[in-house]
């Protein structure tokens, strides 16, 4: 039975946990950057391998343009949205490599393509999209697959969760480095 | 679901037809029996039906030309006469002659666009009214990394890039009709009539690269991703590109192995 760490709080993370009912789950909240490290350490002491990680971005913050974004708010958004994903992946990667391979799915927000009044979140989620591609290249030979779900404005938990479960499944074994739009027409939204 | 698979008798199309049939769908596969430019695919229909029967499955395999409106209509008429409805379409048929702009004649360019891009247009146009009538439909395109532009694939790239945009436009136009249109991009050099044809049918020149999972990607891998689009879990996917090439938008380079 695969062991999956789900990093994130809220309805999307909960739906993903439900969709992964065949897996052993460690659900940790993204708010605490050391939580994934602790989950990894705990699995290690129990001599359990880790097969996969799912990260889910936190809820959107207050709307703001560059003029209305103070530096402290920028730092806070980048830390919670982008750096948290980096830290979670960094904590898990050595163990996925040691296990001979694994899968990571990061759920990013469509703000990553650039959205009005979402300056810091746009930058953070654009960062997650490129980060996922870079990670996929770096660990191609380690057989660690990294895919990114880009959740559109209308994407509900039940739209996202089965896609995340699919990306972790053997049916998606050749998928890595992909950017998969959910409720969001390829690479951009809007009619 | 009743699903039509264009180019469904050989290569990736054959794998998709078999996978969908295994998943319980009624599959109507069609293609041309004669060898097409730059491909070794031929006489796939009878073989596919025999293969399916050996697995206890039934697949209807027909001969028709996807670049001809009349050819496509014959398949649609068969589906409606036999099963009374059409719920799914896989736009898979493609030809892939290689060449730069200097080495690609206007005739070859037109032929590639007519099969790969116009074929998807014709097949989608023929099935959509029947899907709209039932307020439900799934259209899956088999795209290519060439759709992002690749060297020595001028006509093929243009046709496959057009497919991405065709799918997105269809997705917008028919989202409210309950129809989802998505594109799956298979791993490069997946063993097919096309990939073999491009090396003159000489297996000794076939150089597949490993996928991220550490083995060679196969037509079945692509078929598994296409089949996901026909499940309820894919309800949130519309106008999406499912990049099953193991590389972000089939870019590169992959770093050298350690």
User: Does CATH number 3.40.50.720 belong to domain B2-246?
Assistant: yes
Structural domains present in chain A: 3-182 (3.40.50.720)
The 10s digit of each residue's pLDDT in B151-198 is 999 999 999 999 999 999 999 999 999 999 999 999 877 888 888 888
Interface test with A, best of B215, B240, B257 (most A CBs within 10 A): B240
Asked if residue B258 has pLDDT above 90, the reply is no
Active site residue B172: no
In chain A, the N- to C-terminal Cα span, in Å, equals 43
* Dihedral sign for Cα atoms in the order A94, A100, A106, A112: positive
B225 close to A (CB below 8 A): yes
Mean pLDDT, chain B, whole residue set: 94
Which residues of B are less than 8 Å from A184 in CB distance? 239-240
| Greatest alpha-carbon span in chain B | 58
CB contact under 8 A, B212 and A191: no
A38 close to B (CB below 8 A): no
Which residues sit opposite B28 in a β-bridge?
B4, B60
B214 close to A (CB below 8 A): yes
Q: B120: part of which helix (H) or strand (E)?
A: helix B118-134
The 10s digit of each residue's pLDDT in A117-169 is 999 999 999 999 999 999 999 999 999 999 999 999 899 999 999 999 999 99
Phi, psi of A38 (to 5 degrees): -65, -40
CB of B219 closer than 8 Å to CB of B14: yes
Entry pTM: 0.93
What are the residue ranges in chain A where pLDDT is below 70? 30-33, 190-191
Task: Name the residue ranges covered by the structural domains of chain B.
Answer: 2-246
Cα torsion for B39, B40, B41, B46, to the nearest 10°?
160
Percent of chain A with pLDDT over 90: 75
CB of B29 closer than 8 Å to CB of B45: yes
Under 8 Å CB pairs connecting chains A and B tally to 130
The closest of B82, B89, B39 to B66, measured between CA atoms, is B89
Interface of B with A in 170-209 (CB under 8 A): 171-172, 183, 187
CB of A128 closer than 8 Å to CB of A106: yes
DSSP B233: G
ipTM: 0.88
The beta-strand segments (E) located in chain A are: 3-7, 24-28, 52-56, 102-109, 144-151, 179-182
Other Cβ atoms within 10 Å of B54 Cβ, number? 8
Interface test with B, best of A184, A186, A187 (most B CBs within 10 A): A186
């Amino acid at each position: 039975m695969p062991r999956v760490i789900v990093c994130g709080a809220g309805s999307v993370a909960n739906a993903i946990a439900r969709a992964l009912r065949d897996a052993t789950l460690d659900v940790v909240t993204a708010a605490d950057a050391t939580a994934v490290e602790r989950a990894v350490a705990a699995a290690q002491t129990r001599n359990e391998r880790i097969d996969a990680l799912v990260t889910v971005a936190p809820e959107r913050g207050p709307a703001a343009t560059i003029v209305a974004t103070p530096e402290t708010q920028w730092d806070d958004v980048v830390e919670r949205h982008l750096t948290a994903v980096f830290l979670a992946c960094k904590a898990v990667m050595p163990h996925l490599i040691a296990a001979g391979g694994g899968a990571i799915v990061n759920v990013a927000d469509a703000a990553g393509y650039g959205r009005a009044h979402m300056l810091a979140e746009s930058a953070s989620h654009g960062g997650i999209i490129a980060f996922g591609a870079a990670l996929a290249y770096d660990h191609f030979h380690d057989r660690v697959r990294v895919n990114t779900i880009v959740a559109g404005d209308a994407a509900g938990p039940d739209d996202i969760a089965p896609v995340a479960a699919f990306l972790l499944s053997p049916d998606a074994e050749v998928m890595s480095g992909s950017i998969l739009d959910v409720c969001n027409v390829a690479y951009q939204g809007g009619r | 679901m009743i699903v039509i698979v264009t180019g469904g008798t050989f290569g990736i199309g054959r794998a998709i037809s078999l996978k969908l049939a295994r998943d319980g769908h009624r599959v109507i596969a069609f293609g041309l029996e004669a060898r097409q430019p730059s491909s070794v695919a031929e006489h796939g229909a009878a073989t596919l039906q025999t293969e399916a029967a050996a697995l206890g499955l039934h697949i209807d395999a027909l001969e028709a030309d996807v670049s001809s409106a009349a050819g496509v209509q014959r398949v649609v008429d068969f589906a409606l006469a036999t099963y009374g409805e059409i719920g799914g379409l896989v736009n898979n048929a493609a030809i892939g002659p290689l060449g730069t702009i200097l080495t690609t004649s206007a005739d070859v360019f037109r032929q590639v666009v007519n099969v790969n891009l116009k074929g998807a247009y014709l097949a989608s146009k023929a099935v959509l009214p029947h899907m709209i009538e039932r307020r439900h439909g799934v259209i899956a395109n088999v795209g290519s990394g060439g759709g992002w532009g690749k060297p020595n694939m001028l006509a093929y790239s243009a046709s496959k890039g057009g497919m991405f945009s065709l799918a997105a436009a269809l997705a917008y136009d028919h989202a409210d009709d309950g129809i989802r249109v998505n594109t799956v991009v298979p791993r490069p050099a997946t063993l097919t009539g096309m990939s073999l044809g491009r090396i003159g049918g000489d297996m000794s020149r076939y150089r597949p690269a490993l996928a991220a999972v550490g083995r060679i990607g196969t037509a079945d891998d692509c078929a598994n991703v296409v089949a996901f689009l026909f499940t309820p879990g894919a309800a949130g996917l519309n106008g999406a590109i499912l990049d099953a090439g193991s590389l972000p938008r089939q870019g590169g380079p992959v770093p050298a192995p350690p």
